[in-house]
A and B are shown apart, each in its own frame.
Chain A
Amino acid sequence: MFFSQCFIIPDLGRPDRILNLILSPNPSSMFIADFIVLTSYFIFTIIFGWLTMKEKVGMRGTLALSAIGLPLAISIHSVTAWIFGLIKARPMWHTALLAPIFLSSAIVSAIGLLIFTTILTTKFTNIKIPSNVVSDLGRILSITIPIDIFLLFCEILTTSYAAEPRHIEPLSWILLGPYAPAFWTEVTLGIIAFLLMVNPRVRSSTIALTISSIFVMVGIWLKRFLILIPGLSLSPIGEIGVYVPTWIEWSIIVGLYAFGALLYTLSTQLLPLKVEEKNI
Chain B
Amino acid sequence: MSDFKLLSRRKFLTKAGSALIATSIASLATTAKTSSQESQQLGVKEWCMVIDLRRCIGCQACFAACKSENGVPLGIEYTWVETHEKGKYPNIKLLFLPRLCNHCDKPPCVQVCPVKATWKREDGVVMQDINKCIGCRYCMAACPYGVRSFTWEEPSGAWFEPWMEKATAKHGFVVKCHGCYHRVEKGLKPACVEACVGGARIFGDFKDPNSEVRKLIDSLSTTRLKAYLGTEPMVFYIGLDEKVAELGRKAPGAIIVHEEEEEEEE
- Name A's B-contacting residues (CB within 8 A): 11-15, 17-18, 20-21, 23-26, 28-32, 35, 83, 87-90, 165-166, 232, 235-239
A21 and B250 contact, CB distance less than 8 A: no
Q: Which residues of B contact A165 (CB under 8 A)?
A: 246
Q: Indicate the member of A25, A83, A235, A237 with the most B CB atoms within 10 Å.
A: A237
A29 and B135 contact, CB distance less than 8 A: no
Partner of B115, one of A15, A24, A30: A24
Partner of B133, one of A17, A21, A23, A30: A17
Give the top 9 A-B pairs by smallest Cβ distance, nearest first: A13-B135, A238-B247, A31-B114, A13-B172, A89-B144, A20-B115, A29-B114, A237-B146, A14-B172
Give the Cβ gap from A132 to chain B, nearest Cβ, in Å.
44
Q: A232-B141, A236-B145 are in contact. Are A26 and B169 (CB under 8 A)?
A: no
A226 to B171, CA, bound (A): 29
A12 to B134, CA, bound (A): 6
Q: Chain A residue with minimal CB distance to B229?
A: A88
A13 and B114 contact, CB distance less than 8 A: no
Q: Which residues of B contact A26 (CB under 8 A)?
A: 113-116
Q: Which residues of B contact A13 (CB under 8 A)?
A: 133-137, 150-151, 171-174
A188 to B75, CA, bound (A): 41
Q: Chain B residue with minimal CB distance to A166?
A: B246
A89 and B141 contact, CB distance less than 8 A: yes
A235 to B174, CA, bound (A): 16
B113 and A29 contact, CB distance less than 8 A: yes
Contact of B143 with A by CB under 8 A: yes
Q: Which residues of A contact B99 (CB under 8 A)?
A: 237
A210 to B249, CA, bound (A): 46
Q: Which residues of A contact B249 (CB under 8 A)?
A: 237-239
A165 to B246, CA, bound (A): 10
Q: Chain A residue with minimal CB distance to B172?
A: A13
Interface of B is mostly: loop
A12 to B174, CA, bound (A): 11
Q: Chain B residue with minimal CB distance to A236?
A: B144
B108 and A12 contact, CB distance less than 8 A: no
A35 to B171, CA, bound (A): 24
B115 and A25 contact, CB distance less than 8 A: yes
Give the Cβ gap from B216 to chain A, nearest Cβ, in Å.
24
Can you report 18 A-B residue pairs in the complex whose CB atoms are below 8 A from each other?
A11-B136, A12-B134, A17-B132, A17-B135, A24-B132, A26-B115, A26-B116, A29-B112, A29-B114, A30-B112, A32-B114, A87-B108, A87-B142, A89-B108, A236-B145, A236-B226, A237-B146, A237-B247
A235 to B82, CA, bound (A): 15
- Name B's A-contacting residues (CB within 8 A): 99, 108, 111-117, 132-138, 141-146, 150-151, 169, 171-174, 226, 229-230, 246-250
Give the Cβ gap from A225 to chain B, nearest Cβ, in Å.
16
Give the Cβ gap from B80 to chain A, nearest Cβ, in Å.
10
Q: Which residues of A contact B250 (CB under 8 A)?
A: 235, 237, 239
A161 to B185, CA, bound (A): 51
Q: Which residues of B contact A14 (CB under 8 A)?
A: 133-135, 169, 172-173
A21 to B112, CA, bound (A): 13
A12 and B248 contact, CB distance less than 8 A: no
Q: Which residues of B contact A23 (CB under 8 A)?
A: 115
Starting from the known contacts A14-B135, A25-B116, 19 additional A-B residue pairs (CB-CB under 8 Å) come to: A12-B134, A12-B136, A13-B134, A13-B136, A17-B134, A20-B117, A21-B115, A26-B113, A28-B112, A29-B112, A83-B138, A87-B141, A88-B144, A88-B230, A89-B142, A89-B144, A238-B247, A238-B249, A239-B250
A256 to B137, CA, bound (A): 21
Q: Chain A residue with minimal CB distance to B151?
A: A13
Q: Which residues of B contact A30 (CB under 8 A)?
A: 112
A90 and B246 contact, CB distance less than 8 A: no
Q: Indicate the member of A30, A83, A87 with the most B CB atoms within 10 Å.
A: A87
A42 to B115, CA, bound (A): 22
Give the Cβ gap from A233 to chain B, nearest Cβ, in Å.
12
Q: Which residues of B contact A239 (CB under 8 A)?
A: 146, 248-250
A11 to B108, CA, bound (A): 21
B135 and A237 contact, CB distance less than 8 A: no
Q: Chain B residue with minimal CB distance to A86?
A: B112
Partner of B112, one of A20, A25, A35, A87: A87
Q: Which residues of B contact A25 (CB under 8 A)?
A: 114-116
B141 and A20 contact, CB distance less than 8 A: no
A148 to B138, CA, bound (A): 27
Q: Which residues of A contact B116 (CB under 8 A)?
A: 24-26
Q: Chain A residue with minimal CB distance to B247?
A: A238
Give the Cβ gap from B155 to chain A, nearest Cβ, in Å.
14
Q: Chain B residue with minimal CB distance to A83?
A: B138
Give the Cβ gap from B106 to chain A, nearest Cβ, in Å.
11
Q: Indicate the member of A11, A23, A30, A238 with the most B CB atoms within 10 Å.
A: A238
